[in-house]
């Protein structure tokens, strides 16, 4: 085990949010609140002192109840959020599948969005041109290449997004319940593609409530509870703990 290098290291990460109700939108509010001494920050700790490592080639499942901090953790790993405290080291390229198609511009056509979204994910234009047909084929959108994306159904949206995001072989793939979109057949296709990536050595981080999926593909599991690392280890043991915990709650 130890000879594999750590591709991700999470060291004592904490994340605090100021809750939205205390959000100040205008200067007037701001000044008033300062004068009244009301700048109480209603702080909410989404994550508290979480540490774990992921080795190259690991398939890591992140499980936990709602509000446990799973998505926050993924966003920190994807570099979208900066942790309030602690440090995250990520060695390699990351392909985030957090709400695929987030970077689409509804006014632009599928073709234009492939280039825009691809650029956001850091691909070169020539590369995208080369793989253009492949992306369209996988998303099964041949007929709709020049239709503005605003006219797409949510399934088409997700298919296109997934297709663009997975066109390369990233070192790390972050999956946040995207597999729940699209019809059954397309879900299978996605799983197929993710499995091929795994075979080729991609490290996968997966957030899911679907325990059987986690048991199926993950070899390591992080169990978060109320922002704290409850358990970390091999899938069987952690899943058992999780199930026991579920029963307690019930």
Partner 1 sequence: MIKELYQFRNLINELVKRDIKKKYRRSVLGYLWSMLNPLLMMLITAMVFSHLFRFDIPNYPLYLLTGQIIFTFYSEATNFAMGSILENGGLIKKVYVPKYLFPLSRVISSGVNVCFTLPAMVTIMLFTGAEFHFKLLFCVIPLLLLMLFSLGIGLLLAAFAVYFRDIFHLYGVLLTVLNYATPIFYPTKIIPLEYQGIVLYNPLTYFLQAFRDIVYGNVFPSGEQLFVCTCLAFGSLLVGGYAFSKKQNNFVLYV
Residues 92-111 that bind partner 1 (CB under 8 A): 94, 96, 98-99, 102-103, 105, 107-108
> Is residue 155 within the footprint of partner 1 (CB under 8 A)?
no
Nearest distance from residue 212's CB to partner 1, in Å? 27
Query: Using CB under 8 A, which of 6, 9, 11, 18 touches partner 1?
Result: 18
DSSP 23: -
Closest to 148 measured CA to CA, from 101, 104, 118, 97: 104
Which single residue is written with the structure tokens 């358990």? 231
Nearest distance from residue 77's CB to partner 1, in Å? 10
* Half-sphere exposure in the Cβ direction for 16 (13 Å, CA): 9
Tokens of 37: 């001494």
Task: Choose one: 52-60, 90-98, 223-231, 235-243; the region binding partner 1 (CB under 8 A).
Answer: 90-98
Alpha helices in 67-153 (DSSP H): 70-78, 110-120, 125-139
Binding-site size, partner 1 (CB under 8 A):
34
Q: What does each C-alpha distance from 96 to 2, 47, 166, 215 come to in angstroms?
A: 27, 20, 9, 22
> Is residue 130 within the footprint of partner 1 (CB under 8 A)?
no
Residue closer to partner 1 by CB (options 119, 237) is 119
Query: Using CB under 8 A, which of 17, 65, 132, 232 touches partner 1?
Result: 17
As a whole number of angstroms, the distance between CA 148 and CA 78 comes to 28
40: burial class by Cβ within 10 Å (0-12, 13-18, 19+)? exposed
Nearest distance from residue 241's CB to partner 1, in Å? 31
Radius of gyration, CA atoms only, the chain? 20
Nearest distance from residue 193's CB to partner 1, in Å? 19
DSSP 209: S
As a whole number of angstroms, the distance between CA 222 and CA 234 comes to 9
> Is residue 59 within the footprint of partner 1 (CB under 8 A)?
no
Task: Choose one: 27-35, 37-45, 131-139, 182-190; the region binding partner 1 (CB under 8 A).
Answer: 27-35
Nearest distance from residue 80's CB to partner 1, in Å? 6
Nearest distance from residue 178's CB to partner 1, in Å? 12
> Is residue 172 within the footprint of partner 1 (CB under 8 A)?
no
Residue 10 CB neighbours (<10 A): 23
> Is residue 199 within the footprint of partner 1 (CB under 8 A)?
no
Closest to 46 measured CA to CA, from 23, 22, 71: 71
> Is residue 65 within the footprint of partner 1 (CB under 8 A)?
no
Nearest distance from residue 35's CB to partner 1, in Å? 17
- Contact residues for partner 1, defined by CB under 8 A: 17-18, 23-28, 30, 75, 78-82, 94, 96, 98-99, 102-103, 105, 107-108, 112, 115-116, 119-125
């Amino acid at each position: 085990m130890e000879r594999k290098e750590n591709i991700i290291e999470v060291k004592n990460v904490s994340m605090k949010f100021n809750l939205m109700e205390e959000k100040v939108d205008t200067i007037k509010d701001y000044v008033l609140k300062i004068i009244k001494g009301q700048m109480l920050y209603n702080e909410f700790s989404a994550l508290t002192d979480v540490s774990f490592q992921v080795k190259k080639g690991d398939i890591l499942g992140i499980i936990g109840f709602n509000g446990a901090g799973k998505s926050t953790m993924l966003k920190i790993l994807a570099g979208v959020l900066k942790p309030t405290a602690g440090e995250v080291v990520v060695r390699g390229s990351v392909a985030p599948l957090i709400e695929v198609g987030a970077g689409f511009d509804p006014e632009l056509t599928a073709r234009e969005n492939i280039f825009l979204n691809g650029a956001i994910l850091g691909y070169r234009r020539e590369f995208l041109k080369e793989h253009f047909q492949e992306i369209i084929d996988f998303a099964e959108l041949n007929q709709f290449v020049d239709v503005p994306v605003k006219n797409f159904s949510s399934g088409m949206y997700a298919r296109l997004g997934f297709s663009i995001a997975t066109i390369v072989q990233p070192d790390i793939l972050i999956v946040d319940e995207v597999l729940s979109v699209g019809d059954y057949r397309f879900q299978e296709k996605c799983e197929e593609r993710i499995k091929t990536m795994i075979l080729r050595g991609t490290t996968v981080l997966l957030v899911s409530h679907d325990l059987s999926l986690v048991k199926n593909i993950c070899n390591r599991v992080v169990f978060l509870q109320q922002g704290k690392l409850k358990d970390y280890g091999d899938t069987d043991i952690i899943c058992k703990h999780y199930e026991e915990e579920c029963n307690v709650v019930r």
